[in-house]
Structure 1
Amino acid sequence: MLQAILIGLVAALGVLGDQMGSLYINRPIILAPLVGLIVGNLEQSIVIGASLELFFMGAVSVGAYIPPDTIVGGVLATAFALSTGRGIETAVTLAMPIALVSQAIGNLCNVFNSIILRWTDDYAAKGNYNGVVFTHWLIGMITVVRRFLLVLFAYYLGGDAVGNLINAIPEFVTNGMAAAAGLLPALGFAMLMRMTINKQNIPYYFLGFILAAYMGVPVLGVAMIGVILVLVKFNFLDKQAATEAEAVQGVSDDDDF
């Protein structure tokens, strides 16, 4: 029970990733190692966290799109995979279904949140500052407590059941999931590229691809070259030129206005 409570607190901590600025503590690459410390398998949890991070890389909120719950999906998938002694393929198999179920429960809770927001409007109309603050705290606590309780009871009550279910899965299915796990990072990158790619940065994408695929430059080397290109392109090394460019940009904007 103590282990389930601690894992639930890890999920609650993940909610704060969006409440205290973009700390990225809500991502699987951060939460999975914390679960590994609790379960007692840090090394494997780091590998699982990195794999799930690639899997969920494209799961970000853009406009009206609500992504799957990567917090609950990542935490529970890691916990179940480690507790059953299975590998990455098990975590990848469980992560998305769990994330979608948690998202559905979250959408149901949002119905109640919309009612609470009406209270906020009433408090604001009356000039009741404390009432507005209370409703914001209430919605935040509902979000935190929902994930905490969901992870706690799912892990505590479903550990044995999930373990039996995983053991009953045929080997060809788990082997297929292991193969799919190698393809899913590419899908995550593709989803991310759809939001970021444009005519200005696509040459740099192909430059990185050529360096990695044909010239054997490791990922760290490609990243360092990218940092150098950013420093040069945006004149970070020439403060005077950067200042003049900002001044020209400001004058141009004023003229357009």
Structure 2
Amino acid sequence: MLELSLMQILLISLYAFISDVDGLTFQMGLSNAIFAGAFTGIVVGDIKLGLAIGATLQLMGLGVATYGGASVPNYKAAAMLGTAFAAITGQSIEFAIGIAVPVGILLTHMGTLVRFVNVFFQHKAEKYADEANLTGVSRSNALCCLTWGFGAAIPVFLGLYFGSEVVGFVTDKIPVWLLTGLKVSGKILPAMGIAILMRYLPLKKFYPFMILGFAIAAFLNVSLVGVAIIGFAIAAIWLMIKNQGLQVQSQDEGGDIDD
């Protein structure tokens, strides 16, 4: 069983801190699950594993956002802990995803706690705004960002620091049927993520393209990159035909007006 060093744990925890602050400020994409999984994979020495877990969780999170203050699973932290646990135990990707998703859901409560704490700083910012104290407003907002950063880094650090003992206990003590269930759920959850994404797509209008893409991927053994290239080409052809139809229609309407 792989043991993570303290330096590896600190690096991953630091990434969790920076990525949460980035999501509130610069928004460079560091808080995406695929980047979190890739970084964790680099740290633990298996970037392929990190990319596979991060990309799967990223797919589950497509079309899901925290609009209106709604809480969604913390897929970024799930990707980091799932990648680390998979590297520690040597288990399959499906097992890691089955572990990571409940962890991500559990960490949504940490986000709720951070929101409660930040209410204090926001009230301070409002007070400073009434006093026209721009420095105080900036300081209060900066403290809110730090709270979010620590709210992400602390659970990741604790999960990784005690992870080997906890995961070792889980893999040794829990029954085989539960491990099998976690692996099965790990295979089902990506399909659920695709279903959530499809819920927001205009499939009633473009369902032939979806069927064509599924057939190409399932029966012609084409990679996802190949399917994406074919889809881009079909979309470009469809737009060209549509634009030509609009031009012909506008010309016909102009001719009718002249007559």
> Is the structural similarity TM-score above 0.5?
yes
**1:3 matched to 2:8:** yes
Aligned to 1:254: none
TM score, norm. by length of structure 2: 0.79
CA–CA distance in structure 1, aligned partners of residues 205 and 109 of structure 2: 38
Cα shift readout 1:4-27 (whole Å, capped 9, x = no counterpart): 211201212331452355533222
- Please report how far the alpha carbon of residue 218 of structure 1 lies from its aligned counterpart in structure 2 after TM superposition: 4.0
Unaligned 5+ residue runs, structure 1? 249-257
Alpha-carbon shift at residue 188 of structure 1 (Å):
0.2
Match of 1:172 in 2: 177
In the TM superposition, residue 139 of structure 1 has moved relative to its aligned partner by 0.5
Aligned 1:201-212 pairs, distance under 5 A: 201-212=206-217
Cα separation, 1, equivalents of 2:85 and 2:182: 16
**Which residue of 2 is the match for residue 149 of structure 1?**
154
**Rounded Cα–Cα distance in structure 1 between residues aligned with 2:172 and 2:61:** 25
Identity of aligned residues (%): 28
Say which is worse superposed, 194-203 or 109-118, in terms of deviation: 194-203
Partner residue, 1:227: 232
Aligned match of 1:89 in 86, 94, 106?
A: 94
Determine the C-alpha separation between the residues in 1 that align with 2:188 and 2:95: 15
Contact persistence 1:208–1:222 (CA under 8 A):
yes
Name whichever of 119-128 and 46-55 sits farther off.
46-55
Figure out how many residues of one structure are paired with residues of the other and give that number. Answer: 240
The structural deviation recorded for 1:70 is: 1.4
Structure 1 residue 42, shift from structure 2 partner = 2.6
The residue aligned with 2:255 is none
**Take 2:67 and 2:206, find their aligned partners in 1: how far apart are those partners?**
20
What TM-score do the two structures reach when normalised by structure 1? 0.80
Q: CA RMSD in A?
A: 2.8
Q: For 1:1-257, what aligned pairs fall within 5 Å after superposition?
A: 1-57=6-62, 59-197=64-202, 199-213=204-218, 217-233=222-238
CA contact 1:12–1:147 (8 Å) conserved in 2: yes
- The change in CA–CA distance for 1:141 and 1:22 in structure 2 (over 3 A counts) is closer
* Alpha-carbon contact 1:16-1:25 (below 8 Å) kept: no
> In 1, Cα distance between the equivalents of 2:90 and 2:220?
38
Aligned to 2:151, the other structure's residue is in SS state: helix
User: How far 1:110 sits from its partner (Å)?
Assistant: 0.8
Distance 1:109 1:33, change over 3 A: same
1: distance between equivalents of 2:173 and 2:227? 43
Shift of 1:67: 0.6
Aligned AA for 1:127?
A: A
Structure 2: how far apart are the matches of 1:216 and 1:154? 39
Unaligned runs of 5+ in 2: 1-5, 251-259
Change in CA separation of 1:128 and 1:187 when aligned onto 2, cut-off 3 Å: same
